[in-house]
Amino acid sequence: MSALRLTQFGNSGVYRQIFELVRSFQNPVDLSLGQPNFDVPDEVKLAAIEAINVGHNRYGNTKGLPALVDKIKGMLVEEGSKAEDVMVTTGGTGGLVLAALSMINPGDEVLVPDPYFAIYEQIIRLAGGLPKIIDTAPSYRLTPEMIAAATGPSTRFLIFNSPANPTGVAYSEAEISSLVKQTKALGLRVVADEVYDLFTYDRAHESWLKHDADAVLVRSFSKTFAMPGWRVGFVAGPEQIIEDMAVLQQFIYPCAHVPSQIACVKALDLDMTPQRIAYAKKRDIVYEGLASHYDLPRPEGAFYAFPRIPNGDWTEFLKRCLAEKLVVVPGRAFSKQGDRFRISFAVDDELLEHAVKILVQIAKKMG
């Protein structure tokens, strides 16, 4: 029999259903994937292979390979952030789980702006916390007023994601600075999920950590260097919190994948501008193609768009998508609202243009 803690997850199985759907089609038009369509850069692949060949196959330091930790610290200083400590984790997910388990006490409320990356709710519950969902529609931008209205006596944390999955919203310096003022005034600790930091299209990425040294920053190599299967990310923040997370990491993981960490040192030297430019073009294909037929926020970062379902009729919309072998993710995987769907534009331009044509046709027929 499953442990009691599993009963609180309310696993909707949306992702499993989508995976099965994709497998059932020949040549699906698959816009459901949350991972890059470019390959791991060659230099990074070669560094990992060499690391394995020369024998870096043993346990590593719990807090990460010193060369990688130093490189990350240097990068954060260059960004203007003042992190007391850094630890390498098993992807962004490893960082988020450890952050929740090391900080949340039973009954603590955690503010979660809706829509949100699906695992936030589950991780908070796993740690005994209570997710407090903040509806940010229709702008999908969190404001200081929304934070104030949702904060009560048991509210301790905010989980903040920019650039955001699934909306593509990327917050500006002015927005983050006003949000930081509010969280400080209310005594909230912030976990800033910035796993899409290299993918912003209209202005440079603005890190929460630059404005708030008490925050816990979570980043990852999964999306930015196309290595979600390699499982490397990192956390940065106050010394005591990172130390607590290291204690847990030692028992649970107990270190991030060592050959991948060696390769990640190389990754941080790479210029990913060509990939960012390619994604900016894909963003334009999606936004310019859909904006006059769908209500959708203009994606400023990450590689997702979050349009409203025509007439709000998901059943009809899904039927029409399936007839064209088009696979998207229903909004209810990310939101209590469920009136939207997520598309990933991390696919080849040709497939994306084809998908946009299908979506325009569907909107015309349903409109």
Nearest by Cα to 227 from 268, 169, 280, 273:
268
113 binds ligand PLP (CB under 6 A): no
- The answer to whether 99 and 245 are in contact (CB under 8 A) is yes
| 199 lines the binding site for ligand PLP (CB under 6 A) | no
Angstrom distance (rounded) from CA 127 to CA 123: 6
Which residues share a beta bridge with 161?
193
> If you ran DSSP here, which 8-state letter would residue 347 be given?
S
Based on CB atoms, which residue is closest to ligand PLP, 228 or 310? 228
Residues paired with 87 in a beta bridge = 235
d(CA 274, CA 34): 20
For residue 163, the minimal CB distance to ligand PLP (Å) is 9
Q: How many CA atoms lie within 13 A of 323 on its CB side?
A: 10
Pattern of binders to ligand PLP over 131-170, x per CB under 6 A? ------------------------------x---x-----
Judged by CB under 6 A, the chain residues 247 through 276 that form the site for ligand PLP are none
Q: Which is nearer to ligand PLP, 22 or 366 (CB)?
A: 22
- The nearest distance, CB 32 to ligand PLP, in angstroms, is 12
The answer to whether residue 34 forms part of the interface with ligand PLP (CB under 6 A) is yes
* By CB under 6 A, residue 117 contacts ligand PLP: yes
Nearer to ligand PLP, 93 or 183 (CB): 93
Which of the ranges 78-86, 173-181, 220-228, 318-326 carries the binding residues for ligand PLP, by CB under 6 A?
Answer: 220-228
Cβ pair 366, 313 in contact under 8 A:
yes
Is 310 a residue that touches ligand PLP (CB under 6 A)?
no
The candidate with the shortest Cα–Cα distance to 286, out of 271, 305, 273, is: 305
Is 58 strand, coil or helix?
coil
Of the two residues 30 and 193, which places its CB atom closer to ligand PLP in the complex? 193
For helices 258-267 and 42-53, what crossing angle results, to 10°? Answer: 140
- Binding of ligand PLP by 195 (CB under 6 A): yes
The reply on whether position 193 binds ligand PLP by CB under 6 A is yes
Mask for 91-110, x = binds ligand PLP (CB under 6 A): xxx-----------------
Q: Assign 135 to helix, strand or coil.
A: strand
Q: Judge contact between 120 and 141, C-beta under 8 A.
A: no
Rule CB under 6 A: say whether 331 interacts with ligand PLP.
no
Query: Which residue do the tokens 């006490």 mark?
Result: 105
Residues that bind ligand PLP (rule: CB under 6 A) add up to a total of 13
Query: Site residues (CB under 6 A) for ligand PLP?
Result: 34, 91-93, 117, 161, 165, 193, 195, 220, 222, 228, 233
